[in-house]
């Protein structure tokens, strides 16, 4: 949502706008976030009405994240690794174009994932805190 919102914003306003937008997605509760979104809209709708309109239209998809503790939310926000893997897989598949069968695709993805996993060695930020919160909130799913 943040990246998608910033594509409508002039470069000279991005830093200030993203600081104000951060108050929305880092709020503790959905109600607080909604109040912050209203304050954001009052300030920025004269220049960039598309941003607040976009957040309001996707609000039902955003609010479930406020049910999680802060550590889990930070782990959810960390999508750079996922996007990097997806970009690398698309690049490999695009080069080869048409493959003869499904097995060829599986083998190609397997080899690409082996190469990608060697490159991605950075752990997810605050993972230990998130893992602890996952164990508390989803104890039936987290093995000890």
- List the domain boundaries for the chain: 2-66, 79-123
Q: What's the confidence (pLDDT) of residue 78?
A: 65
Q: What's the confidence (pLDDT) of residue 107?
A: 93
pLDDT tens for the 144 residues of the chain, in order: 888 889 889 999 999 999 999 999 889 999 999 999 999 999 999 999 999 999 999 999 989 888 888 888 877 766 667 788 888 999 988 888 788 899 999 999 999 999 888 887 777 777 788 888 888 888 888 776
Residue with tokens 């060697």: 118
Number of neighbours of residue 55 by Cβ within 10 angstroms: 22
- d(CA 72, CA 82) in angstroms, rounded, equals 16
Q: What's the confidence (pLDDT) of residue 79?
A: 64
């Amino acid at each position: 949502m943040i990246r998608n919102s910033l594509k409508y914003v002039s470069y000279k306003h991005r830093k200030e706008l993203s600081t104000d937008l951060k108050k929305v997605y880092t709020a503790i509760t959905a109600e607080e976030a909604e109040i912050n979104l209203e304050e954001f809209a009052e300030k920025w709708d004269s220049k960039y009405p598309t941003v607040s309109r976009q957040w309001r239209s996707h609000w039902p998809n955003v609010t479930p994240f406020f049910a999680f503790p802060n550590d889990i939310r930070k782990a959810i926000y960390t999508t750079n690794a996922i996007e990097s893997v997806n970009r690398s897989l698309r690049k490999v598949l695009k080069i080869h174009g048409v493959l003869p069968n499904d097995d060829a695709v599986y083998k190609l993805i397997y080899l690409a994932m082996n190469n990608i996993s060697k490159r991605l060695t950075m752990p997810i930020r605050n993972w230990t805190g998130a893992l602890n919160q996952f164990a508390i909130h989803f104890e039936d799913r987290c093995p000890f």
